[in-house]
Amino acid sequence: MNLPHIVLASRSPRRRELLEMLGVRDLEILPARGEAPFPTELPPGEAAVEVARAKALDVLPLAPAGSLVLASDTVVALEGRVLGKPRDEEEAFAMLSALSGRRHTVYSALVLLSDKGERCGFEATDVFFRPLTEGEIRRYIATGEPMDKAGAYGAQGRASLFIERMEGDFFNVVGLPLCALGKMLGELGYEMI
């Protein structure tokens, strides 16, 4: 592994855990200072890239020289409508009810900035939920798990019980598409393995 110091422009404990799972040890968490406005005029994947780019550019001046800044943004889209993080339990209920028994798409954007260049892009994964009862949704919301997640669920947690299948990268749904990350790092001349 020949990675430089990595600055993760995210508060997400899941992204940090995934990087640590890959063996990244020289990791600094430096979240962006604000949330960039979501460009609703763009398709969801491209919009997520723009939000991630804004995070990376916000953190770049604060990163130590020679670092690689990594930013990501994840959005859930149902029939073209973007579902962000729920503001409250009723919005979480509405989101999960809308996802019940249906296919939706999760987009996770990646932006990498280093002295070797910039790479950006996004992955899309289709997720198929089984039909959910009102009771299941209410009990899930009561766990608190959906409140800080796009689309009001975490595939790596209790909501895994709702997912019939996925088409695409599981880690993309968790919030960091690892296969795409490995490819982008390789394009910049870094090796993960």
| Helix H or strand E segment including 38 | none
Tokens of 70: 């990594």
Widest Cα–Cα separation across the chain: 52
Tokens of 191: 């090796």
The sign of the torsion formed by the CA atoms of 16, 17, 22, 24 equals: positive
C-alpha–C-alpha distance, residues 150 and 169, integer Å? 17
Q: Among this protein's residues, is 73 annotated catalytic?
A: yes
C-alpha–C-alpha distance, residues 2 and 147, integer Å? 37
C-alpha–C-alpha distance, residues 3 and 124, integer Å? 26
Look up tokens 């019980």; give the residue.
Answer: 161
C-alpha–C-alpha distance, residues 138 and 133, integer Å? 9
- Using DSSP's 3-state secondary structure scheme, residue 29 falls into strand
One of 26, 58, 73, 169 is an active-site residue; which one? 73
Strands 27-29 and 117-129: unpaired
- Catalytic positions are 73
